[in-house]
Amino acid sequence: MSAQLIDGKALSQQLLLQIKQEVSALTAQGQAAPCLAVVLVGEDPASQVYVRNKLLQCEAAGIVSIERKMDASTSQAELLQVIDELNQDASVHGILVQLPLPAQIDPQAVINAIDASKDVDGFHPHNMGLLLAGSDEAFIPCTPLGCLLMLKHLELDLAGKHVVVVGRSNIVGKPAALLALQQHCTVTMVHSRSNDIEVLCRQADILIVAVGRPEMVNADWVKPGAVVLDVGINRIERDGKFKLVGDVDFASVAPIASAITPVPGGVGPMTIACLLRNTLQAYQQQNGE
């Protein structure tokens, strides 16, 4: 392998340490610690793991967390009632509703109901609008924010770089493209209906892949020397064992890329660290800091 490995685990630990220090400085002055409320509806195994990791990281950083577990049969009205309570609770600074939600609940209605000033996932239309407008006050969705921090860590001159984002979801692809544009990159978005995806990907100086298809992007799609950020998390069975792989075929791409994120240990840990960062930002904005 010739590419530099972008160690999301180590970078996220640095970010978590900074957050922990800022939180300790607040509590040392007698202020309350920031508080994140996490709502989990149902028993999706992957969601349970994600929520557990988020709560553990909060604890490690000194952020107070509240977990609201709700039954898989919860109605939309019941969930909206809980969100309303959390919106009204001044001791709660951030609210996260773990997605996906059971079929009877419209996720957009739930996202819209979260007070935008507590929307630490950055999915509320108000925050998406602020991001589009380039405002500093936007809560930026955690996964693309993690990608941006990893690119900044590489100390590349981002201006003029051609960034190709594969995938156009509201939570990863679209905000990743907007962030790249803010950094003066030239941005191409490709998705399931794009033609000639491989040709477009091969033009990328920086390739961000968020699709959800195991190892879809191989070396033929990547320009030698490109930076590759693999957002995908896919659980596959290989040789009778389950393992996590990304959307990028790491084995073939790592020898030709200049830098690449592994899966696991790349974008994933940065996502959680950015959630805590957004929670601290929510606390600071609510306290007029």
Active site residues: 54, 98, 121
Is residue 233 a contact residue for ligand NAD (CB under 6 A)?
A: yes
Identify residues 100-129 at the interface with ligand NAD (CB under 6 A): none
If binding is defined by CB under 6 A, does position 12 make contact with ligand NAD? Answer: no
What is the C-alpha to C-alpha distance for residues 173 and 50, in angstroms, rounded to an integer? 20
Residue range at the interface with ligand NAD (CB under 6 A); choices 18-26, 167-175, 219-227, 235-243: 167-175
**Residues 20-59 vs ligand NAD: string with x where CB under 6 A?**
----------------------------------------
Binding segment for ligand NAD (CB under 6 A), chosen from 15-23, 116-124, 184-192, 275-283, is 184-192
Asked if residues 215 and 245 have their Cβ atoms less than 8 Å apart, the reply is: yes
143 is a contact residue toward ligand NAD (CB under 6 A):
yes
Q: How far is CA 42 from the centre of its chain?
A: 21
Q: Which stretch binds ligand NAD (CB under 6 A): 24-32, 55-63, 64-72, 185-193?
A: 185-193
Q: Under the criterion CB under 6 A, does residue 271 sit at the interface with ligand NAD?
A: yes
Residues 162 and 118: their CA atoms lie apart, in Å, by 34
Whether the Cβ atoms of residue 122 and residue 138 lie closer than 8 Å to each other: yes
Query: DSSP string covering 2-65, please?
Result: -SEE--HHHHHHHHHHHHHHHHHHHHHTTPPPPEEEEEEES--HHHHHHHHHHHHHHHHHT-EE
- In the complex, the residues that contact ligand NAD under the rule CB under 6 A are 143, 166-169, 171-173, 190-192, 197, 210-213, 231-234, 267-268, 271
